[in-house]
Amino acid sequence: MEYIADENRYKKMEYRRCGNSGLMLPAVSLGLWHNFGHIDNQENARSILRLAFDEGITHFDLANNYGPPPGSAEENFGKIFKEDFIKYRDELIISTKAGWGMWPGPYGDFGSKKYLVASLDQSLKRMGLDYVDIFYHHRPDPQTPLEETMTALDLIVRQGKALYVGISSYQPDETEKAIKILRELGTPCLIHQPKYSMFERWVENGLMDVLTKEKVGCIPFSPLAQGLLSNKYLQGIPEGSRAASHRGNGAIEENQITEANISRVRLLNELAKERGQNLAQMALAWILKNPAVTSVLIGVSKPEQVTDSIQCIKNYQFSADELYRIETILK
């Protein structure tokens, strides 16, 4: 059946300015790292994307290597995009990335101009797009000069293959340098995509300060620590969950569901209930309370998780007492 988006979608979501750019992003964005590969159910994938857009989620985040197999999330997104979303292209922010290993040999990994330019061409073909809205360098490359990687991002924008560029998982000092080079080239750095959750706090040691000072946006990934920060694993490891699925490629494994983690999750879950939220909603709200954050980048395995998680925007205010209790639990 033809997909017609909910006409009330923009009333349901909050939109935040990305750094000092002209671009607004939804407070909650959707990532396609898992659950959109060839191994996954495509009608489920379609339902997730339709529901997300109906809820005002205008930003879908991909990367060259998402799947499995690598490339298949872009391919599947491309099919669904063509059937359901092509008429909404100008209402969508679609991002992709290159930086992790994608094809054999010396030109399919890290941060050379050769890799980034070729990879984006492949991504555009897989998705059936003329351009992406945001193109990221996916991780820092210790060997390639930063000037070369940033020049590649600038080139890609000048070629019209991306509108904006970003970086992911760069440390604070590398971030500062990358921002400076990009500014000199005339292609400002739009956004940084770091891993950030209650269980992963590295961004608080300098990165957020750099982004605030430089007025660059921030879109934290894995805000639920891949599902650990929800009530999902409180009674063991459910069948079909990410930890039970052995998806590889950095996906959470059973041995990360430790008693130490679960005992903290149990206490956080109690606090969330007192706030009138579930733990997933509180964990996302805890990210959104930070004014340096533009959007929180979620993953979902089913449409109901979209409905559930986006409730986080209803309350991301925390009292001093709540914040103190969270810090005590996380210690």
Ligand X SMILES: NC(=O)c1ccc[n+]([C@@H]2O[C@H](COP(=O)([O-])OP(=O)(O)OC[C@H]3O[C@@H](n4cnc5c(N)ncnc54)[C@H](OP(=O)(O)O)[C@@H]3O)[C@@H](O)[C@H]2O)c1
* Cα–Cα distances in angstroms (integers) from residue 166 to residues 26, 136, 246, in the given order: 17, 5, 30
Restricting to residues 139-158, name those near ligand X by CB under 6 A. Answer: none
**What residues numbered 105-124 form the site for ligand X, per CB under 6 A?**
none
Q: How far is the CB of 1 from ligand X (least distance, A)?
A: 26
Burial track 126-165 (b if 16+ CB lie within 10 A, e otherwise):
bbebebbbbbbbbbbbeebebeebbbbbbbbbeeebbebb
Least CB distance to ligand X at residue 321 (A) = 25
Report the C-alpha gap between 165 and 305 in whole angstroms: 29
Q: Which is nearer to ligand X, 111 or 223 (CB)?
A: 223
Phi, psi of 280 (to 5 degrees): -60, -45
Strand partners, 168: 193
Q: How far is the CB of 265 from ligand X (least distance, A)?
A: 11
Euclidean distance between CA atoms 319 and 38, whole angstroms: 44
- Rule CB under 6 A: say whether 223 interacts with ligand X: yes
Among 58, 187, 277, 305, binds ligand X (CB under 6 A): 305
Within 182-211, the residues that bind ligand X by CB under 6 A are: 193
Check residue 165 for interaction with ligand X (CB under 6 A).
no
**Which residue in 96, 230, 269, 294 binds ligand X (CB under 6 A)?**
230
Q: Which stretch binds ligand X (CB under 6 A): 102-110, 158-166, 267-275, 295-303?
A: 295-303
For residue 103, the minimal CB distance to ligand X (Å) is 18
Q: What is the identity of the amino acid at 303?
A: P
- Residue 78 interacts with ligand X (CB under 6 A): yes or no: no
| Rounded Cα gap, residues 95 and 114, in angstroms | 20
The encoded tokens of residue 54 equal 């109906």
Least distance between ligand X and beta carbon 224 (Å): 3
Amino acid residing at 271: L
Q: Which of residues 32-71 bind ligand X (CB under 6 A)?
A: 32-34, 61
Determine how β-strand 15-17 pairs with β-strand 24-26: antiparallel
Query: What's the closest the beta carbon of residue 27 comes to ligand X, in angstroms?
Result: 14
List residues near ligand X by CB under 6 A.
Answer: 31-34, 61, 138, 168-169, 193, 221-227, 230, 232, 241-242, 280, 297-301, 305, 308-309
